[in-house]
Amino acid sequence: MQNWRKPNRDESNRPRLGAERLGRTARRVLLWTSCALVLAACGTTPRTVPVVDRTTPAKPPSGPAATAGRESSRLIDADTYVVKRGDTLIRIALDHGEDWRDIAQWNNLEDPNQIRPGQVLRVTRPGSTAARPADSGVAQATPVPAPSQSASRPLGTPAPEPASPAPAPAVPAPAPATQPTAPATPPARSEPAGERVEWGWPASGKIIENFHETRNKGLDIAGTPGDPVLAAGDGKVVYSGSGLRGYGQLIIIKHNNTFLSAYAHNRAMLVKEGQAVRRGQKIAELGSTDAESPRVHFEIRRQGRPVDPAGYLPPR
C-alpha cells in the first residue's frame, strides 16, 4: 500500500500563488504597454484631413437678358444719389448738373436743408431714364474691315503675285501758299446741337491758378474788387447765395441739360435765382469772399463733372 501523506498548507497554496504572480506580471506588462502607447500618441503630430469643396461655383448669367439687367442697374444708380455726411442739396445739385429746387421737388422735400446721411435722392428728372453719354475723353477707334478671302485654288498651285501698280508720272508739287498764322483754338467737342454753348470769358484779369482735377476745379482769374463778373453764356440762374463752403458769394448758371457754370468769391451779386441771363451780362462784382485775394473762381461743369474751362473758352 502506497504511503499517503497529507499536504501541508504551503504545498496546497503553491499553484494559487504561481497563478497570482503570473497575473501580476501580465497586468504590469499591459500597464507599461498602455503607457507607451499613450506617450507615443501624445508625441505624434496630429494630421489635419484636408477638406475639399466640391460644390460647383455658380456661373454669372450671360446673354442678352443679363446684359439688359446690368444696364437697368446702371441706369437706376445714375438716377439716384445716397446722401453722405456733410452734403448739402446745393452741393448735390452742382455735382449732378441740376437745379437744387428741381431735386427738392422730385423728392418732395418740404425743407431742402433737412437731408440726412443715407437718404436716397432722385437726381434726374422723372421719366428721363436714358443713360447720359460718359465723357471719357478717349477717342473711339473705327474698326477696319478684314481683307476678303481669296477664291479657293487647287492644292499645289502657287498663289498669283499681286500686280504692281504702274508708276504714276511725276508731277511737280505746287509751291505752298503763304497763310496767316491763326491763333490756337481749343479742341472742338461733339455736343448735340441743342446742348452747345457759345462761351465767353467771365473776367478780363490774369489767370493765377489753372484747372487741376484734384486741387482746383476751375480757373482763378485775378482782378480788382468791384470789377465786373460776366455771364459766360446764355442761361438761367439756378443759385445765388453763400451756402456752399469755400466758394463765398456764389452764382450758378444752368445753360442747358449738359452745362452749368459757377462764379465764386463775389463781392456783390446782381442777379436772382430763376432770372434769365445773356452771355456777357454783368452778374456780379469781383471780390474776395472765402479767398486769399480778389479773384473770380470760374467753373464749367459738364453733366455735373468739372471740366477744364480752357478747353471751351475762346482764345483771348
Query: Lowest-confidence range among 22-31, 104-113, 186-195, 203-212?
Result: 186-195
Q: 3-state class of 241 per DSSP?
A: strand
Task: Kindly indicate the confidence band of residue 49, based on its pLDDT and cuts at 50, 70 and 90.
Answer: very low
pTM of the model: 0.56
Q: Are the C-beta atoms of 106 and 122 separated by less than 8 Å?
A: yes
CA distance 236 to 312: 19
- 79 in a structural domain: yes
- 161 in a structural domain: no
Q: Which is more confident, 182 or 93?
A: 93
Which pLDDT does position 150 carry in this prediction? 44
**In terms of domains, do 107 and 203 share one?**
no
Q: Which is more confident, 132 or 88?
A: 88
Domain count, the chain: 2
Residue 106 is part of a domain; what is its CATH number? 3.10.350.10
Look over the chain and give the mean of its residue pLDDT values, rounded to a whole number.
Answer: 75
Which domain range does residue 250 map to?
A: 198-311
φ, ψ for residue 238, nearest 5 deg? -105, -10
Integer angstrom CA distances of residue 245 from 237, 249, 269, 292, 308: 19, 10, 17, 14, 21
Tell me the per-residue pLDDT of 3-38, one tens digit each, with 9 for 90 and over. Answer: 555 555 555 555 555 566 666 777 777 777 776 676
Calculate mean pLDDT across residues 81-91. Answer: 88
Tell me the per-residue pLDDT of 242-300, one tens digit each, with 9 for 90 and over. Answer: 989 999 999 999 999 999 999 999 999 999 999 999 999 999 999 999 999 999 999 99
Q: Which is more confident, 126 or 306?
A: 306
- Return the C-alpha cell found at 202: 467771365
- 16 in a structural domain: no
Helices (H), 100-152: 100-106
Cell 497575473, residue located: 23
φ, ψ for residue 71, nearest 5 deg? -65, -40
Handedness of CA 278, 266, 203, 300 (dihedral sign): negative
Q: Are the C-beta atoms of 253 and 235 separated by less than 8 Å?
A: yes
Residue 242 is part of a domain; what is its CATH number? 2.70.70.10
Instruction: Give the other-Cβ count within 10 Å of 202's Cβ.
Output: 29
- 231 in a structural domain: yes
**In terms of domains, do 105 and 210 share one?**
no
Q: Which is more confident, 166 or 155?
A: 166
- 240 in a structural domain: yes
**In terms of domains, do 118 and 202 share one?**
no
pLDDT above 80: residue 152:
no
Tell me the per-residue pLDDT of 92-105, one tens digit each, with 9 for 90 and over. Answer: 988 888 888 888 88
Integer angstrom CA distances of residue 5 from 8, 11, 12, 260, 279: 9, 12, 12, 134, 147
- 57 in a structural domain: no
- 164 in a structural domain: no
- Name which of 233, 249, 252 is nearest 289 in CA terms: 249
**In terms of domains, do 209 and 297 share one?**
yes
Q: Which is more confident, 134 or 262?
A: 262
- 21 in a structural domain: no
Among the three residues 122, 153, 169, which one is the final residue of a domain in this structure?
A: 122
